[in-house]
Amino acid sequence: MGLRGETNSLDEEHSRPAGVNDATVEALGELSKALETVHRVRGHLYAAHQLVGGADFTLDRVVRLLREAGHDEMADRVEHELLGRNVLPGRWTFQIVEEFDDGYYAAFQEIERDARQKLAGGRRHIFEAEMKERRRTHGMPGHEATP
C-alpha cells in the first residue's frame, strides 16, 4: 500500500501476466526501446527524403539563375549531372524509404509484436508501467497511476 491507502494500481493492459519473470519483462522493455529507436530512424529517413526532394527542386531555380547570369556551362552541369540524380545507385530517396519500410522496419515491428504476444500476452510497456509505479509518489496530485 502507498500513501493514503492507495495500492499498486497498474491497469490490466500494462500489468505483468502471471508467470512472466523479471528477465522477460526487462528483455521486452529493451526490445521496445530498440523499436522506438528504429521509429526515430524512420522519421529521419523521411526527413532526409523531404530535404533531398526540396534541394532537388531548388536546383531548378539554380539552373535558371545561372543561365540568366550567363553561366550556361555551369547551368548545364547542374542540370545534367545533379538535377534528378540518384542518391544511391538506382535509387531516389522514396525508394530508400520504401525498402526500409518494407524490409527492416516491417520485420522489426513484427518480431517485437510477436515477442510481446508470445511472452507477455501482447501487453505493451510492462517494464515502463512497473517503473512508473515504483517512481511515482502515491497519493500526490500529478502522480496518478492511470488517467
pLDDT tens, position by position, 40-85:
999 999 999 999 999 999 999 999 999 999 999 999 999 999 999 9
- Closest among 110, 101, 100, 129 to 13, alpha carbons compared: 129
Reported pTM: 0.83
- Judged against a pLDDT cut of 50, whether residue 1 lies above it is answered with no
Q: With contact defined as beta carbons under 8 Å apart, do 130 and 25 qualify?
A: yes
- Judged against a pLDDT cut of 60, whether residue 8 lies above it is answered with no
Average pLDDT, the chain: 93
